[in-house]
C-alpha cells in the first residue's frame, strides 16, 4: 500500500455530520442490577478489528456481538483509544474508536491496534455514509448498504482528495490496496445466499432494530433536486417539502439493498450537491462518500461497509443515522460469520488455551536466518546463482521430489549466502517453516542442544495445528528441551505432526532450512539428526522438507549415505566453472562500482583484466572474493595501494585461503625488522588465537580481563583485522569472526611450516584453561551477588545484579573451563592444576553456575572431569571428583531454586564422610547447625506430611500420606507402633502430655492414647524399679492392689483385666469385658463390673465403677448414666438404688465403718451417701472440672 502524507483531521464520519442525531432512549427498569463481570481474554487471541468513528456506530456493532469480553491490551502504542471486545461467531474482535473524526486520527488508531493486538490480520470500517444518486443506473436509497468490493479496475476505495491539479485535471498520487481476499470471498458467499433467499442479514438486522433508537425511521425518503438547498438552519426538512422544490419521493423497501463497488474516501465534508457532482466526475461508478477509511487502510487491510444516511447534499436526513449504522453493523456480522477462523492466517493462534510457555522451548540466539545478529550477512546478488536457485525452486515445487536437498561444498563457496537467499524467498512465499544457521563459537549455534526447540518455536508460529501436540508434550515432560536428541525429536516434532488429523495448509511442502551442519561441535549429533529426519514422512497432513548445507566432511557424507534414497545432493564447488566465473565477475563488478562512486574513480576502474585476475584468484571461493573486496575497500587505507598489493602477490599457495588471508595478515608486518615481526606475530597469536578458539565470543574488555592484557593494546592490535574480524567500536560488544574460513586457515596444520601465523589450537586451549581457573580463583566466593538471605530464590535475583557481580569473563570461565581443558594437549595433566583451585572453590563455582541458570551444564562438566580420573592416578583427585558428582546430582534442584542453600541444606544432609563436606563444613556451614543426623526413620509407604515430639521428647510421631501415624523412640530410633484409623492423608500431628492429636484430609480429628501398655512397680524408699508387668496392648486405667499386698489387678482401655503376683511378677489370670475393678478386704474376691444378665435386666447403660463394703457381702456399682446401685454379693439381689448423679461416676469408696459411701462424678461433684437408707447426705461441688477415676478415698 502507498503511505501518504496525512491530511487534516476529519470533521465527520460517513456523509456530512454538522448536526448530531438524537441519542437512543435508554429504557430503565426497576430491577436493574450491577453489570456482570466480563470474561477476560488475552490480546493475542484477537484476530479482527472493527473501526467505528461515532458512538452510535460502536453501539450498533456491540448489539451484534454474540459475547462481550474484557481485555487488557499491551502497553505498546503511544495513545490510548476506546476499545470494546467481543465475539462474533468464532472470531474474537476489537471495536476501536478514534478520538476524532478524520483520516489522521483514524490512521493513528489503526497503528495502535496493530501494536497492541499483534494477531489482528485485517479490519472492517463500519458506519454511516453518504449515497451518490446515479439514477437510473444505480438506485441507492437511505438505509441501503454499500460494500467496498473492487470492480471495473477500481480497488474498492479511492482517496479522492490525495493528489494535485494538473492541466488535465485532478490527478491522484497513489491508490489504496484492495480489501483482504478472505473478506471478498466471504462477501461472494453472501451474494450467493442472497440469490437463494437465505441471507442472514434480515435476522441480524431484526435483532438490532429492536434496540432503542435503532429502528427503521418513520420518515419519508426524499431525494431533492441538486439545485434546491436546505431552507432553514434546523435539521428538519419539513419546510423544504412545503416549498415545492423539485424532489423525488422514494418507495419504501422491505429490506436494505446491498450495493458493491467503489467508495470515495476523504478528509473533507461534502456540503452540497455541486461538490458531490464535481468530486465524482472521474468516478462514474462511485456509490458513496465516507470519511476515514483511507487512514485505516494505510495501516491494516480493510473492507469498508457503509449504511446510507443521506445523499451528500444540504438536506441532512438526521433521522436515518442510527438505522444506517444498524444496517452496516448487521452486514458486518453477516460477513464475519462467513469467514472461517482457521483460515484467517497460519500464524494466528485462535485460542488462548493453545498458547505455550515459550520459556520451555529455549532457542539458540541468532540462529534464525533473519536474526538481528546476522542482518548484515550477504544474500545472493541479483543475477547470480540463477541456475542454482532455479534448481532449488524446482525441488520445492515438485511434489515428487525427495524430501531432503543437500547443498554441499568446500568452505567459503557461498553455501550460507545461498541458504539465506533461499530462506528469505521461501519466507516471502509462506513456505518457510523454520531455519537454523549453525555457527561454531557462537554459543548454542555451535551445537545441537537447542536445535529442535529452536525449530519448533518457529514451526508453531507457521503451523498452528502443531500447537496442541507441542503443548501436550511440554505438559507431560517440562524438561524435554534438555533431553536427548531422539526424545526431543519424537516429543516436540514427530508426535505433534502425527497428531494433526486435518490441515488447512496448501499442498505445497513446508521447508526447514538448516545451514552449515559442519559448524556443529559434535559430529555424532549431526548423524543422529540425519537419521531421525526421515520419520517426518509418516505425517499425512503436514509435509515437511529439509534444505541442508554443509561442507563435504567425512562424517556428514557417511550419514547421508545411510539415507541415500531420500535426498538429492548438489556440490556447490562442482557447478560449471563458466557459471561460477560469471557470477563472481558480476560480484566484483558490483563491489567495484560502489568503490568508484565512493572514491570518484574513472568509469573503467579497475579494468576488466584486473577483475578477471581477481576472479581467478578467488575461484571457487565466494568468501575469497568477499574478503578481497572488503580488504581493498577498507576506508582506513588507500584503496588503490591495497589493490596493487593484492595483485602483486602472484604466488599460488597450497591453500586457497592463503591467497586470501596472507595479504591481510602481512599488513601487520609492514616496516618491521625480524625481531619486531616476531613480537607482532606472538601478540597476534595471543589475541587472535584466543578469539578464534573461544567457545563463545568475548568483548575486548572481557578478553582483557581474561588474558591480563590491556584493553587498549587489544583494540589497537585488532584495528588491522576488520576485513576478517567484526571488531566493534565499544569495549563491551563481542568480537566475532566474519567467516569460519579464517579460523580454518589459521589452524590448518598442513601449511603450518609455510604460515608464520599458524596457531597451535591445543596450546591455546591449555592457556585458556589456566586463565579461566585463575579468573575463577580471583573472583569466586560465597554469596557473590550479595543476596540478603540464604533462602533467596534465583528467580528473584535481578539480572542487572548478576551482570554486575559476575562479570562476562567470570561467566565465561565458569562455563567453559572444562571445554578448554578437554581440548587441550594433556587434559589429565591440566586436571592437577584445576584440582588445586577447585578444592577451595567447588561450592563457589556451583553457586555461580546456579545463579547463571547453568546447573545442567555444571553436571555435564563434572561428569566430564570424572571421565579423566581413570587416566589420572591421583586418588585424592579421583575421590574429590567422585564426591563432587554425587553432591551436584543430589543438590542440583535445590541449587537451582536457592543457590546459597548449597552451603547449608546441601552440606548438612551430605554424609559425614563426604570429601566436600569435610572440606567446607568448618568455613561454610552456618554456625547454628551444630549436630548431624542421628537416625533415618523408615516405615511410611508415602511421603511424610507432619511430625511432632512428645513433651518429654522421648517419642516422635510422624504423619504420612499413607493414612497412618508412626510412633518412634527418639533414644533408639526404634519403631513403637502404628496408629491406623484415618481414611485419607494425615495433615498434622500434635502431642499433649497424655494424648496425641491428628488431623486428616478425611475431615476428622482423632485423639490417641499414647501409653505403652506397661505397669511399672517401684520401691518408694529406694526408688528402684522392682517389676515391669507386660501384657496389656493399650493404655491402662489406675490399678488396684489387694489388702494383703500380694496381688495387683489392672484394667486396660480395651476391657481386659490382668491379675499379677507382685512378688514374682507372673500373670495369674486374665478376664475380658470389664470397665473397673476392686478387691474385697480379705483378698478373696475381686469385683468386676461385667455385663451380667442381672445387670442387663436393670441397666440400659454400662457399669463404670464398683466398690466393696468391709463385710464383703455388699457391693456398690455405678453406671454410665450416673445411677448408684447396692447389691448383695451372695444373692446378687438388688438391695436399693441411691439417688443419681448428674453425670457418669468413675470412682466410689466406702468409709472404714461401712456407714458412708463417697462417689465422684463427671458432673463436677462428690456425693456422700448413707448406706442404710441410700440417701445422699451432702454434696461437695467445689471442683471446676470432672472428677476422674480414683478421685475419692477415706483417711
Q: What is the pLDDT of residues 20-63, one digit of tens each?
A: 444 444 343 344 445 567 888 878 778 899 999 999 999 999 99
Mean pLDDT, range 111-116, rounded to an integer: 88
Angle value at C-alpha 127, between 123 and 130, nearest 5 degrees: 125
Boundaries of every domain in the chain? 40-343, 357-575, 576-650, 763-924, 944-1009, 1016-1180
Paired with 1106 in beta bridges are 1117
Residue 7: pLDDT above 70?
A: no
User: 749: which 3 cell numbers?
Assistant: 596444520
Separation of alpha carbons 62 and 1132, rounded Å: 93
User: 597: which 3 cell numbers?
Assistant: 562512486
Percent of the chain with pLDDT over 90: 26
> Does 486 or 464 have the greater pLDDT score?
486
Separation of alpha carbons 335 and 190, rounded Å: 7
DSSP tag of 902: G
Residue 1075 has a pLDDT of 54
Percent of the chain with pLDDT over 70: 76
Angle value at C-alpha 677, between 675 and 680, nearest 5 degrees: 115
Residue 214: pLDDT above 50?
A: yes
Confidence band (pLDDT; 50, 70, 90) for 612? confident
Residue 454: pLDDT above 80?
A: yes
Write the CA distances from 7 to 77, 158, 291, 303, 834, integer angstroms. 21, 14, 11, 21, 71
Confidence band (pLDDT; 50, 70, 90) for 310? confident
Confidence band (pLDDT; 50, 70, 90) for 1096? very low
Q: What is the pLDDT of residues 766-783, one digit of tens each?
A: 999 999 999 999 999 999
Confidence band (pLDDT; 50, 70, 90) for 1136? low
Sequence length of the chain is 1195
Residue 720 has a pLDDT of 72
> Does 489 or 161 have the greater pLDDT score?
489
Confidence band (pLDDT; 50, 70, 90) for 453? very high
DSSP character string of 682-700: HHHHHHHHHHHH-SS--BH
Domains 40-343 and 357-575 in one fold? yes
Confidence band (pLDDT; 50, 70, 90) for 1139? low
Backbone angles phi, psi at 91, to 5 degrees: -100, 135
Contact 53, 106 (CB under 8 A): yes
Confidence band (pLDDT; 50, 70, 90) for 912? confident
Residue 346 has a pLDDT of 40
Lowest mean pLDDT among 688-692, 695-699, 1118-1122, 1146-1150: 1118-1122
> Does 480 or 9 have the greater pLDDT score?
480
Residue 993 has a pLDDT of 72
User: 1086: which 3 cell numbers?
Assistant: 475381686
Residue 784 has a pLDDT of 94
User: 221: which 3 cell numbers?
Assistant: 425518503
* Short-list 1039, 1088, 1034, CA closest to 1060: 1039
* Short-list 508, 251, 460, CA closest to 360: 460
Residue 165: pLDDT above 70?
A: no
Separation of alpha carbons 122 and 47, rounded Å: 8
Torsion sign (Cα): 496, 502, 504, 508: positive
Paired with 968 in beta bridges are 956, 975
CATH fold of 40-343 = Rossmann fold (3.40.50)
Give me the residue label for grid cell 563481542.
734
User: Which residues are within 8 A (CB) of 169 and not within 5 positions of it... i.e. 6 or more apart?
Assistant: 282
Separation of alpha carbons 209 and 322, rounded Å: 9
Confidence band (pLDDT; 50, 70, 90) for 950? confident
* Short-list 240, 201, 247, 256, CA closest to 226: 247
Confidence band (pLDDT; 50, 70, 90) for 237? low
| Average per-residue pLDDT for the chain | 79
Q: What is the pLDDT of residues 573-591, one digit of tens each?
A: 778 888 888 888 888 888 8
Separation of alpha carbons 541 and 551, rounded Å: 33
Backbone angles phi, psi at 203, to 5 degrees: -65, -45
> Does 13 or 1065 have the greater pLDDT score?
1065
> Does 872 or 902 have the greater pLDDT score?
902
Residue 1094 has a pLDDT of 33
For the chain, the distance separating the N- and C-terminal CA atoms, rounded to the nearest angstrom, is 114
Residue 1167: pLDDT above 70?
A: yes
User: 809: which 3 cell numbers?
Assistant: 569473563
Other CB atoms within 10 Å distance of the CB of residue 223? 19
DSSP tag of 83: E
Mean pLDDT, range 944-965, rounded to an integer: 90
Contact 811, 779 (CB under 8 A): no
Residue 127: pLDDT above 90?
A: yes
Backbone angles phi, psi at 248, to 5 degrees: -125, 110
Contact 991, 1003 (CB under 8 A): no
Residue 5 has a pLDDT of 32
Residue 31 has a pLDDT of 43
* Short-list 603, 554, 128, CA closest to 331: 128
Residue 425: pLDDT above 70?
A: yes
Confidence band (pLDDT; 50, 70, 90) for 167? low
510-515, strands of its sheet edge to edge: 432-437, 510-515, 544-550, 404-408, 567-571
Confidence band (pLDDT; 50, 70, 90) for 1014? low
pTM, rounded to two decimals: 0.44
Domain 944-1009 has CATH 2.40.10: yes
DSSP tag of 1003: S
> Does 1020 or 915 have the greater pLDDT score?
915
**What CATH code is assigned to 1016-1180?**
2.130.10.10
Residue 236: pLDDT above 50?
A: yes
**What CATH code is assigned to 357-575?**
3.40.50.300
Q: What is the pLDDT of residues 686-739, one digit of tens each?
A: 899 999 899 999 999 999 999 999 988 888 888 777 657 778 878 999 998 766
Confidence band (pLDDT; 50, 70, 90) for 352? very low
Amino acid at each position: 500500500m502507498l503511505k501518504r502524507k496525512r491530511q487534516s483531521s476529519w470533521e465527520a464520519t460517513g456523509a456530512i455530520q454538522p448536526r448530531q442525531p438524537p441519542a437512543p432512549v435508554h429504557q430503565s427498569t426497576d430491577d436493574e442490577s450491577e453489570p456482570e463481570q466480563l470474561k477476560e481474554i488475552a490480546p493475542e487471541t484477537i484476530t479482527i478489528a472493527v473501526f467505528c468513528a461515532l458512538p452510535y456506530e460502536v453501539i450498533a456493532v456491540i448489539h451484534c456481538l454474540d459475547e462481550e469480553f474484557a481485555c487488557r491490551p499491551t502497553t505498546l502504542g503511544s495513545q490510548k483509544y476506546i476499545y470494546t471486545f467481543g465475539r462474533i461467531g468464532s472470531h474474537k474482535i476489537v471495536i476501536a474508536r478514534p478520538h476524532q473524526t478524520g483520516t489522521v486520527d483514524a490512521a493513528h488508531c489503526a497503528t495502535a491496534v496493530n501494536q497492541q493486538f499483534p494477531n489482528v490480520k485485517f479490519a472492517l470500517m463500519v458506519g454511516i455514509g453518504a449515497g451518490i444518486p446515479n439514477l437510473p443506473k444505480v438506485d441507492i436509497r437511505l438505509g441501503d448498504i454499500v460494500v467496498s468490493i473492487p470492480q471495473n479496475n477500481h480497488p474498492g476505495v479511492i482517496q479522492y482528495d490525495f493528489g494535485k491539479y494538473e492541466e488535465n485535471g485532478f490527478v491522484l498520487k497513489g491508490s489504496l490496496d484492495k480489501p483482504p481476499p478472505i473478506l471478498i470471498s466471504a462477501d461472494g458467499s453472501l451474494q450467493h445466499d442472497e440469490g437463494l433467499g437465505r441471507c442472514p442479514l434480515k435476522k441480524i438486522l431484526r435483532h438490532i432494530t429492536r434496540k432503542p433508537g435503532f429502528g427503521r425511521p418513520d420518515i419519508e425518503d426524499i431525494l431533492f433536486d441538486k439545485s434546491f438547498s436546505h431552507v432553514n438552519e434546523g435539521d428538519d426538512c419539513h419546510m423544504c417539502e412545503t416549498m415545492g422544490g423539485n424532489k423525488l419521493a422514494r418507495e419504501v423497501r422491505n429490506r436494505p439493498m446491498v450495493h458493491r463497488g467503489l467508495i470515495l474516501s476523504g478528509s473533507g465534508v461534502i456540503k452540497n450537491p455541486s461538490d458531490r457532482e464535481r468530486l465524482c466526475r472521474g468516478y462514474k461508478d462511485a456509490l458513496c462518500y465516507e470519511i476515514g477509511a483511507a487512514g485505516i487502510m494505510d495501516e491494516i487491510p480493510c473492507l469498508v461497509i457503509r449504511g446510507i444516511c443521506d445523499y451528500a447534499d444540504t438536506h441532512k436526513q438526521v433521522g436515518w443515522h442510527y438505522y444506517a449504522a444498524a444496517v452496516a453493523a448487521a452486514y458486518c456480522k453477516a460477513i464475519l460469520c462467513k469467514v472461517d477462523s482457521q483460515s484467517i492466517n497460519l500464524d494466528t493462534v485462535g485460542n488462548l488455551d493453545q498458547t505455550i510457555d515459550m520459556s520451555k522451548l529455549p532457542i539458540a540466539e541468532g540462529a534464525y536466518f533473519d536474526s538481528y545478529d546476522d542482518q548484515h550477512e550477504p544474500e545472493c546478488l541479483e543475477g547470480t546463482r540463477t541456475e542454482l536457485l532455479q534448481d532449488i525452486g524446482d525441488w520445492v515445487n515438485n511434489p515428487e521430489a525427495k524430501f531432503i536437498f543437500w547443498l554441499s561444498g568446500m568452505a567459503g563457496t557461498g553455501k550460507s549466502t545461498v541458504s539465506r537467499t533461499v530462506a528469505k524467498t521461501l519466507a516471502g512465499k509462506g513456505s518457510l517453516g523454520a531455519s537454523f544457521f549453525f555457527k561454531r563459537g557462537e554459543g548454542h549455534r555451535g551445537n545441537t542442544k537447542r536445535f529442535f526447540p529452536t525449530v519448533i518455536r518457529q514451526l508453531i508460529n507457521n503451523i498452528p495445528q502443531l500447537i496442541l501436540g507441542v503443548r501436550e508434550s511440554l505438559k507431560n515432560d517440562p524438561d524435554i528441551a534438555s533431553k536427548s536428541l531422539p526424545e526431543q525429536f519424537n516429543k516436540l516434532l514427530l508426535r505433534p505432526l502425527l497428531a494433526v488429523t486435518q490441515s488447512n495448509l496448501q499442498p505445497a511442502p513446508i521447508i526447514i532450512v538448516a545451514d552449515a551442519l559442519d559448524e556443529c561441535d559434535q559430529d555424532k549429533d549431526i548423524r543422529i539428526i540425519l537419521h531421525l529426519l526421515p520419520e517426518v514422512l509418516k505425517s499425512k497432513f503436514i509435509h515437511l522438507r529439509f534444505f541442508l548445507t554443509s561442507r563435504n566432511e567425512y562424517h556428514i557424507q557417511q550419514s547421508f549415505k545411510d539415507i541415500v534414497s531420500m535426498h538429492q545432493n548438489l556440490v556447490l564447488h562442482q557447478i560449471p566453472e563458466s557459471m561460477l566465473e560469471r557470477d563472481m565477475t558480476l560480484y566484483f563488478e558490483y563491489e567495484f562500482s560502489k568503490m568508484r562512486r565512493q572514491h570518484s574513480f574513472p568509469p573503467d576502474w579497475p579494468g576488466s583484466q584486473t577483475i578477471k585476475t581477481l576472479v581467478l584468484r578467488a575461484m571457487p571461493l565466494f568468501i575469497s572474493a568477499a574478503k578481497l573486496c572488503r580488504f581493498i575497500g577498507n576506508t582506513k587505507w588507500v584503496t588503490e595501494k591495497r589493490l596493487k598489493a593484492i595483485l602483486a602477490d602472484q604466488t599460488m599457495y597450497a591453500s586457497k585461503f592463503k591467497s586470501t588471508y596472507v595479504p591481510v595478515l602481512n599488513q601487520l608486518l609492514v616496516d618491521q625488522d625480524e625481531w619486531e615481526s616476531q613480537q607482532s606475530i606472538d601478540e597476534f597469536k595471543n589475541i587472535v588465537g584466543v578469539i578464534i578458539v573461544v567457545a563463545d565470543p568475548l568483548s575486548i574488555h572481557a578478553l582483557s580481563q581474561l588474558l591480563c592484557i590491556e584493553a587498549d593494546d587489544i583494540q589497537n592490535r585488532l584495528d588491522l583485522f576488520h576485513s576478517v574480524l567484526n571488531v566493534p567500536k565499544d569495549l563491551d560488544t563481542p568480537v566475532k569472526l566474519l567467516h569460519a574460513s579464517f579460523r580454518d586457515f589459521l589452524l590448518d596444520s598442513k601449511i603450518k611450516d609455510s604460515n608464520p601465523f599458524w596457531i597451535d589450537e591445543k596450546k591455546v586451549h591449555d592457556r585458556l584453561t589456566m586463565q579461566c581457573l585463575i579468573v575463577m580463583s580471583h573472583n569466586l566466593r560465597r554469596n557473590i551477588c550479595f543476596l540478603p538471605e540464604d533462602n533467596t530464590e534465583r528467580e528473584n535475583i535481578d539480572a542487572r545484579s548478576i551482570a554486575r557481580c559476575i562479570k562476562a569473563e567470570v561467566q565465561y570461565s565458569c562455563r567453559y573451563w572444562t571445554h578448554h581443558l578437554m581440548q587441550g594437549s594433556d587434559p589429565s595433566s591440566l586436571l592437577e592444576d584445576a584440582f588445586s583451585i577447585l578444592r577451595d572453590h567447588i561450592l563457589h563455582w556451583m553457586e555461580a553456575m546456579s545463579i547463571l541458570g547453568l546447573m545442567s551444564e555444571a553436571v555435564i562438566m563434572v561428569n566430564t572431569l570424572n571421565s579423566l580420573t581413570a587416566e589420572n592416578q591421583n586418588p585424592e583427585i579421583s575421590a574429590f571428583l567422585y564426591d563432587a558428582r554425587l553432591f551436584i546430582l543430589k543438590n542440583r534442584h535445590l541449587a537451582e531454586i536457592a543457590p546459597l542453600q548449597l552451603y547449608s541444606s546441601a552440606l548438612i544432609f551430605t554424609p559425614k564422610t563426604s570429601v566436600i563436606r569435610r572440606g567446607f563444613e568448618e568455613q561454610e556451614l552456618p554456625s547454628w547447625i551444630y549436630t548431624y543426623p542421628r537416625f533415618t526413620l523408615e516405615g511410611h509407604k508415602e511421603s511424610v506430611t507432619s511430625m511432632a515430639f512428645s513433651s518429654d521428647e522421648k517419642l516422635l510421631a510422624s504423619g504420612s500420606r499413607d493414612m497412618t501415624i508412626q510412633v518412634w523412640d527418639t533414644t533408639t530410633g526404634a519403631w513403637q507402633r502404628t496408629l491406623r484409623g484415618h481414611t485419607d492423608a494425615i495433615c498434622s500431628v500434635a502431642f499433649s502430655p497424655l494424648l496425641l492429636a491428628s488431623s486428616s484430609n478425611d475431615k476428622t480429628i482423632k485423639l490417641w492414647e499414647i501409653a505403652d501398655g506397661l505397669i511399672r512397680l517401684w520401691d518408694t524408699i529406694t526408688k528402684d524399679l522392682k517389676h515391669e508387668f507386660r501384657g496389656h496392648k493399650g493404655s491402662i486405667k489406675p490399678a488396684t492392689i489387694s489388702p494383703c499386698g500380694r496381688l495387683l489387678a489392672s484394667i486396660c482401655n480395651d476391657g481386659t483385666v490382668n491379675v499379677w503376683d507382685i512378688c514374682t511378677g507372673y500373670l495369674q489370670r486374665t478376664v475380658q469385658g470389664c470397665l473397673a475393678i476392686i478387691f474385697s478386704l480379705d483378698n478373696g474376691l475381686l469385683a468386676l463390673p461385667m455385663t451380667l444378665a442381672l445387670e442387663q435386666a436393670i441397666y440400659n447403660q454400662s457399669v463404670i465403677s464398683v466398690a466393696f463394703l468391709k463385710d464383703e457381702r455388699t457391693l456398690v456399682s455405678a453406671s454410665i448414666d450416673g445411677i448408684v446401685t447396692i447389691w448383695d454379693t451372695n444373692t446378687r439381689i438388688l438391695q436399693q438404688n441411691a439417688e443419681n448423679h448428674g453425670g457418669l461416676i468413675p470412682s466410689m469408696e466406702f468409709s472404714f465403718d461401712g456407714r458412708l459411701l463417697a462417689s465422684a462424678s463427671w458432673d463436677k461433684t462428690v456425693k456422700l451417701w448413707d448406706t442404710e437408707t441410700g440417701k445422699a447426705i451432702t454434696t461437695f461441688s467445689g471442683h471446676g472440672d470432672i472428677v476422674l477415676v480414683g478421685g475419692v478415698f477415706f483417711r
